[in-house]
Amino acid sequence: MTLARNDIARFTDMYGDSDTSIRQFFGPGRVNLIGEHIDYNGGLVMPAAISLGITATCRPRRDRIIHFASAGEPLVTTVQLDELIEPDCTRGWGNYPAGIVRELLVRDVPLQGTDVLFTTTLPQGAGLSSSAAIEVLTAFLLLTLAGNTAVDLKMVALLCQTAENTFIGVNSGIMDQFSVALGKHHCALLLDCGSLEYQYVPVRLGDCTLLIMDTRKARRLTDSKYNERRTECDRVIALLGTRAPPQGLAHAEWNDVASCVEDPVLLRRARHVITEQARVTQAVRELAEGNLLAFGQLLNESHASLRDDYEVSGFHLDTIVAAAQEAPGCLGARMTGAGFGGCALALVRSGSVDAFTQQVRSRYIEATGLEPAFYAVQTSDGVHEVTGASSGSTSSRTCCFFL
Ligand code: GLA
């Protein structure tokens, strides 16, 4: 990745003339291949950082003020480093970076005044973790500008999750921040969300392509039933009593759940978690052996479980996934991320991508009236500083900072 000259020009238009201390950082989005609603249940997930993401162009200031601006938006968030920072709904997306500043200050990390301009290529409200991207990016750039040469990325992921939980009010798990911080080009992360141990799994898709399908049905986690699902899982754990596995519900035995839980809704929630966990383990094996048909089948089963047992898909996601599963060259498809709108994922024979997108697009428009967007997944490294020769060609646009 090279320096984005357009963003530097925008930055100097906004904050004043150019000098050599301007630096750029990139925070990728993420797509979760399989293991949905598993992270906060202590299980295994398989996300990958992607090349769509957020770029921050920034420069230190001499005072104790941080400005966060977003290309194409009038709103600029101003944070005073010597004042207590509280959530403020008039700040809009600015609460995400403001929450990170607060979290760093609470930990006595010395920070300096900074001007920041964000630009993004992540589609809006699409479940590709734009909030984790801006959180991790903000923490990384502030720590780097403060002189840290080897930023502890695991610590950054945990700090950002705390900010999301306490400052934003979404009780999210660790998957998104972890993949944005520690992703690796050509790889997915196989992350054990209980122990935070992880390994990189090469994404080898042979003659297939992974396509992200954006339903364009925007969603906000804070508006959704995300926190409700977490509470339901906690209730199952409470009912399991001494049979509750210490690592979380993902490790529970189905027989134990069936004998301790009567509520049919809670039973379905637990069944999703336990079967999804088994699918992740199997997906790792199938991918390693190049069994793409079997991997695709697991994607289909994951979607059915999220739709019927966990009930987090909804009309738009179900429509696009059903259209995908019947389209030419498709080996499997499922919603990805928290659900309730946003994106789905399809594994498609590369030679059929055009026919596939044509058919899915027309069926989806017919059913919903919305025009979907398609992106071939390209993996990326996690958060990093952008160096190298400058380039004028970034396709950046207005930031959108909800997941
Ligand atoms: C959101 C959350 C993650 C995870 C997914 C569902 O993206 O931020 O922590 O729970 O939903 O897998």
Query: Does residue 36's CB lie within 6 angstroms of at least one atom of ligand 1?
Result: yes
Residue 117: in which H helix or E strand, if any?
strand 114-120
Active-site residue 176, yes or no?
Answer: yes
Specify the range with the lowest mean pLDDT, choosing from 16-20, 23-27, 140-144, 169-173: 16-20
| 129 CA distance to ligand 1 middle (Å) | 9
Using DSSP, state whether 29 is helix, strand or coil. strand
Query: Does residue 232's CB lie within 6 angstroms of at least one atom of ligand 1?
Result: no
- Cβ contacts of residue 336 below 8 Å, gap of 6+? 31, 32, 33, 36, 127, 212, 342, 343, 344, 345
How many residues can be counted in the chain? 403
- For 344-399, the pLDDT digits (tens) are 999 999 999 999 999 999 999 999 999 999 999 999 999 999 987 544 433 333 33
Mutate to test the pocket of ligand 1, among 131, 174, 176 (most ligand atoms within 8 A of CB): 176
| Alpha-carbon radius of gyration of the chain | 21
Q: Pick 5-203+381-386's CATH classification: 3.90.76.10, 3.30.230.10, 1.10.1200.10, 3.60.15.10.
A: 3.30.230.10
Domain ranges in the chain are 5-203+381-386, 208-377
Q: What is the pLDDT of residue 399?
A: 33
Res. 292: pLDDT tops 60: yes
- CA nearest ligand 1 atom 1, residue: 338
| 312 CA distance to ligand 1 middle (Å) | 11
| 358, amino acid identity | Q
Domain 208-377 in the same topology as domain 5-203+381-386: no
First-residue to last-residue Cα distance in the chain:
24
- CA nearest ligand 1 atom 8, residue: 172
- Cβ contacts of residue 147 below 8 Å, gap of 6+? none
Q: Count, in order, helices (H) and strands (E) of the chain.
A: 11, 15
Using DSSP, state whether 344 is helix, strand or coil. strand
Could you say which of 176, 214, 256, 318 is catalytic? 176
Q: What is the pLDDT of residue 222?
A: 56
- CA nearest ligand 1 atom 9, residue: 173
Mutate to test the pocket of ligand 1, among 38, 39, 345, 403 (most ligand atoms within 8 A of CB): 39
Mutate to test the pocket of ligand 1, among 175, 179, 234, 302 (most ligand atoms within 8 A of CB): 175
Query: Does residue 172's CB lie within 6 angstroms of at least one atom of ligand 1?
Result: yes
How many alpha carbons fall within 13 Å on the CB side of residue 270? 29
Nearest to 345 by CA among 306, 295, 297, 299: 299
- Reading the block at residue 363, the tokens are 């069926």
Query: Does residue 135's CB lie within 6 angstroms of at least one atom of ligand 1?
Result: no
CA distance 124 to 377: 16
Res. 97: pLDDT tops 80: yes
- Reading the block at residue 73, the tokens are 């938006």
- Please say whether the structural domain 208-377 has been given the CATH code 3.30.70.890: yes
Res. 22: pLDDT tops 50: yes
Q: What is the pLDDT of residue 403?
A: 31
Residue carrying structure tokens 């320096």: 3
Specify the range with the lowest mean pLDDT, choosing from 27-31, 34-38, 68-72: 68-72
Query: Does residue 336's CB lie within 6 angstroms of at least one atom of ligand 1?
Result: no
Within 234-380, strands assigned E span: 330-335, 343-349, 373-376
